[in-house]
């Protein structure tokens, strides 16, 4: 009997680390055979791939220092690129339209000048937000197309509170300058993206993970909050005095004995994206030209591609390089078969001129059921109902999928720390 934490992602590790430091003994139960959750990685023939892109841009000194003490990092300038119908535009595309054909630049600039002028408090959905920020032409051809690829929904079906500083809103000077030449200035929400020199992204957690009692291959299948017992898929049970969970809300409610149907209905309405990772290793050092880039074309399933070897050379065998493409879908639609996704990704990346198929020495595709929380219009109502229920059965729900929030890693870490 004691404190149990469900899940050994960054939120679970943080909760465990801070509680142990405060003198509370904890046991973490994890369904996988290794720790890290979305911060984890896998290695194939010496090529290490994280689960999706992953850099840290923590701003709190406390978190930055803990990550740095765990594993010294490389600070990469936040410079990325965009692929659009055969053109490469520095990120953010709206500020760097110089490479485009003149007619298209004229349409973008005209659209920007004539954009709708709606007060922010009257903007009802993300599509309107995009039209007001960028004008119709750019909105329709760039972020609205990308929204469908990244979020799996139309922009009109998303709300806008999540946007924050994630998207740069340009002014006319920036648009005009960027239509003549690529801008040196960084418009990204952070100047540097940090990544551990060694051991893949999860190494930022080495110090916190040290000494924690994590039990692997322990998939929770049932929770009885009255008896304070958790049951695992292997038939074993554990009793608790305190239960902290980082499991996705739509999953955990189905495990709770006698969970009311109404709660299950609300949880079922929560939307998220799921995603494939197509991971490729090459027998040459210089395949990757950009640390990461976005792809706007609809016929290319991949939304974003990054290079593990540019994040750190430690991720590949000497003389080699690697790419990982991210392909997202709304969790409620029928997900294409992995062979189709793999074939489309490789064919399209080859046709973009990134590499030749015969240069691939490692090829892998894998799936994650929970990638991003989707901010559809009813998210807050649905989420709050489920969170109120979790509280009523004394389960402390933390982390990205436990709070159902758009958390970056340092925010998920902070969420785990809040159990103190
Ligand atoms: C595409 C993508 C890119 C991202 N890039 C960045 C980035 O560059 N920088 C950044 O800061 N953040 C990034 N993030 C966000 C970051 O990954 C998350 O905020 C963070 O990893 C969430 O951690 P968590 O511990 O809350 O959840 P998770 O990592 O999901 O941990 C939950 C754990 O619970 C376990 N679990 C689930 N079900 C059970 C069960 N039934 N029984 C036992 N265990 C179970 C899981 O296996 C997992 O280990 C990105 C996320 C995505 C999807």
pLDDT at 168: 75
For residue 36, report the distance from its CA to the centre of ligand 1, in Å: 8
Q: Give distance in angstroms: CA of 8 to centre of ligand 1.
A: 9
Ligand 1 atom nearest to 32, measured from its CA: 47
Query: How is residue 271 written in tokens?
Result: 């939307």
Contact between 249 and 402 (Cβ < 8 Å): yes
Give pTM, 2 decimals: 0.96
- Reported confidence tier of residue 84, pLDDT bands at 50, 70, 90: very high
For residue 296, report the distance from its CA to the centre of ligand 1, in Å. 25
pLDDT in tens, 240-257: 999 999 999 999 999 999
The answer to whether 93 touches 229, Cβ cutoff 8 Å, is no
| For ligand 1, mutation pick of 4, 5, 7 (most atoms within 8 Å of CB) | 7
Residue 292 clears pLDDT 90, i.e. is over it: yes
Question: What confidence score (pLDDT) does residue 183 get?
Answer: 86
Tokens found for residue 144? 């609205």
Q: Give the pLDDT band of residue 413 (cuts 50, 70, 90).
A: very high
Confidence at residue 156, expressed as pLDDT on a 0 to 100 scale = 96
N residues, the chain: 420
Q: Could you tell me the pLDDT band of residue 169, with boundaries at 50, 70 and 90? A: confident
The number of the ligand 1 atom at minimal distance from the alpha carbon of 326 is: 1
| Domains along the chain with CATH numbers | 3-40+204-269+378-417 (3.50.50.60), 81-149+156-180 (no CATH), 273-368 (3.30.70)
Q: Which two tokens stand for residue 258?
A: 């006698």
> For strand 229-232 and strand 220-224, is the pairing parallel, antiparallel, or unpaired?
antiparallel
Geometric angle at alpha carbon 146, from 142 and 148, rounded to 5°: 130
Say if residue 296 is exposed, middle or buried (CB neighbours under 10 Å; 0-12, 13-18, 19+).
Answer: buried
Reported as a single tens digit per residue, the pLDDT across 293-349 is 999 999 999 999 999 999 999 999 999 999 999 999 999 999 999 999 999 999 999
* Closest approach atom of ligand 1 to CA 219: 42
Instruction: For ligand 1, say whether the CB of 89 is within 6 Å of any of its atoms.
Output: no
Q: Which atom of ligand 1 is nearest to the CA of 54?
A: 8
Sequence-distant contacts of 158-165: CB under 8 A, at least 24 apart: 158/125, 158/126, 158/127, 158/374, 158/375, 158/376, 158/377, 159/125, 159/126, 159/375, 159/376, 159/377, 159/379, 160/123, 160/125, 160/126, 160/129, 160/375, 161/375, 162/375, 162/406, 163/126, 163/129, 165/189
Query: Cβ distance 2 to 25 under 8 Å?
Result: yes
Does pLDDT of 100 surpass 80?
Answer: yes
Question: How far does residue 404's CA lie from ligand 1's centre (Å)?
Answer: 11
Q: What is the pLDDT of residue 319?
A: 97
**Mean pLDDT over each residue of the chain, to the nearest integer:** 96
Percentage of the chain surpassing pLDDT 70? 100
Is a pLDDT exceeding 80 seen at residue 403?
yes
- pLDDT tens digits, one per residue of 344-377: 999 999 999 999 999 999 999 999 999 999 999 9
Cβ(58) – ligand 1 distance below 6 Å:
no
Q: Are strands 220-224 and 81-84 parallel, antiparallel or unpaired?
A: unpaired
For residue range 47-71, list pLDDT tens digits in order: 999 999 999 999 999 999 999 999 9
* Ligand 1 contacts CB of residue 16 (under 6 A): no
With a 6 A CB cut-off, is 53 part of the ligand 1 pocket?
A: yes
253 Cα to the center of ligand 1, angstroms: 18
Whose CA is closest to atom 26 on ligand 1?
399
Q: In whole angstroms, what is the distance from residue 171 CA to residue 37 CA?
A: 40
**How far away, in angstroms, is 130 Cα from ligand 1 center?**
28
Q: What is the distance between the alpha carbons of residues 122 and 131, in angstroms, rounded to a whole number?
A: 13
Q: Cβ(407) to ligand 1 under 6 A? A: yes
Reduced to 3 states, what is the DSSP secondary structure of residue 179?
A: helix
Give the C-alpha separation, 420 to 416, whole Å. Answer: 9
Whether 166 has a pLDDT exceeding 80, the answer reads: no
Q: Cα separation of 132 and 371, whole Å? A: 28
Q: How many angstroms separate the CA atoms of 227 and 1, rounded?
A: 12
């Amino acid at each position: 009997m004691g404190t149990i934490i469900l899940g050994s992602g960054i939120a679970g590790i943080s909760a465990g680390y801070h509680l142990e430091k405060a003198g509370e003994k904890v046991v973490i139960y994890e369904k996988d055979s290794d720790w890290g959750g979305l911060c984890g990685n896998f290695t194939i023939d010496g090529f290490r791939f994280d689960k999706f892109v992953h850099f840290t841009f923590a701003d709190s000194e406390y978190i930055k220092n803990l990550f740095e003490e765990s594993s010294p990092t490389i600070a990469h300038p936040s410079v990325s690129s965009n692929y659009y119908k055969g053109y490469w535009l520095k990120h953010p595309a709206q500020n760097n339209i110089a490479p485009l054909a003149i007619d298209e630049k004229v349409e973008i600039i005209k659209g920007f000048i004539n954009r709708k002028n709606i007060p922010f408090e009257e903007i009802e959905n993300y599509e309107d937000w995009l039209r007001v920020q960028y004008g119709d032409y750019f909105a329709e051809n760039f972020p609205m197309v990308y929204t469908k690829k990244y979020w799996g929904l139309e922009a009109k079906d998303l709300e806008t509170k999540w946007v924050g500083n994630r998207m740069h809103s340009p002014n006319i000077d920036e648009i005009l300058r960027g239509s003549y030449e690529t801008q040196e200035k960084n418009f990204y929400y952070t100047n540097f993206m940090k990544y551990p020199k060694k051991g893949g992204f999860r190494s930022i957690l080495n110090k916190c993970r040290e000494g924690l009692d994590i039990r692997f291959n322990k998939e929770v299948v049932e929770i009885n909050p009255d008896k304070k017992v958790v049951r695992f898929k292997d038939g074993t049970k554990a009793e608790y005095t305190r239960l902290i969970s980082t499991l996705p809300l739509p999953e955990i409610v189905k495990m709770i004995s006698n969970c009311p149907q109404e709660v299950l209905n609300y949880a079922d309405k929560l939307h998220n994206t799921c995603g494939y990772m197509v991971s490729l290793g090459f027998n040459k050092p210089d395949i990757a030209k950009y640390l990461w880039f976005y792809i706007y074309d609809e016929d290319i399933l991949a939304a974003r591609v990054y290079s593990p070897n540019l994040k750190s050379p430690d991720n590949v065998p000497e003389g080699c390089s690697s790419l990982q493409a991210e392909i997202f879908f709304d969790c409620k639609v029928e997900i294409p078969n992995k062979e189709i996704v793999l074939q489309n990704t490789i064919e399209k990346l080859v046709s973009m001129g990134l590499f030749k198929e015969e240069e691939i020495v490692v090829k892998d595709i894998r799936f994650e059921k929970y990638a991003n929380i989707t901010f559809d219009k009813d998210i807050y109502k649905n989420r709050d109902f489920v969170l109120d229920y979790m509280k009523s059965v004394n389960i402390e729900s933390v982390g990205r999928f436990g709070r159902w929030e758009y958390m970056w890693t340092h925010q998920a870490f902070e969420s785990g720390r809040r159990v103190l």
